[in-house]
Amino acid sequence: MSPSAVVPDWTVLVNKFVALADSSEHWETPEVGPSATDRIYRSNAGKIRYKAEFTLAVSPSSAADLLNCIPRRHEWDTLCAQAEKMGEVEGWTIMYICTHPQWPAQAREEVLWVGRRDTDDGIYLLGTTCDVFEYPVKGAGVKMRTAIGGSRIRAHKDGCIVTHLFDSDPGGLLPSYIVRKVSAVAVPKNIRLIRELAK
């Protein structure tokens, strides 16, 4: 099957994102992030699912350019060991990503469809698992699957507000404390790094 035959439906992805991002039903009580206005939400589901809301003192387009730049992903994503562009199909980028191992768990890896759309509702940067056989994982870790991941970036009086969301099945066995560590430790670090890079 050719890659063009299985490209994601953008409307379906947006609806998945909005259903999680704009609902309070899926999340535990939020924690405060690095700034007093930041909010980090964790799901009580067993898989890795979190949402972060934070402001940046740059325009939405500048924030989107930073977060959408694959070669710079490792500069702000503390779990990212490797990220690379594998190809493009009908306006979508195909990206490979591999995490650092979180002892005692192995690294996780995945190939994703990723796309950007500038809309009246903000800039959306969205991704989902790519299963096209021409773009296989590299065998560097346990294969994970992402239902929806990415960011919505809207204009704000001080620059922009980012809603960053990730809903993924990490695959294999993953201790619950590592799942919680992602939202409790990695996400606040990522927000701080994004703010530093966005200055």
Assess whether pLDDT exceeds 80 at residue 182.
no
Mean pLDDT across 121-146: 95
Lowest mean pLDDT among 1-5, 14-18, 113-117, 136-140: 1-5
The whole-model pTM stands at: 0.94
**First CA to last CA distance, the chain:** 44
Q: Are strands 48-56 and 92-99 parallel, antiparallel or unpaired?
A: unpaired
Query: Mapping DSSP to helix (H, G, I), strand (E, B) and coil, where does residue 140 land?
Result: coil
Residues with Cβ within 8 Å of residue 23, at least 6 apart in sequence: none
What domains can you pick out in the chain, each with its CATH number? Answer: 3-197 (3.30.530.20)
Distance CA 54, CA 88 (A): 30
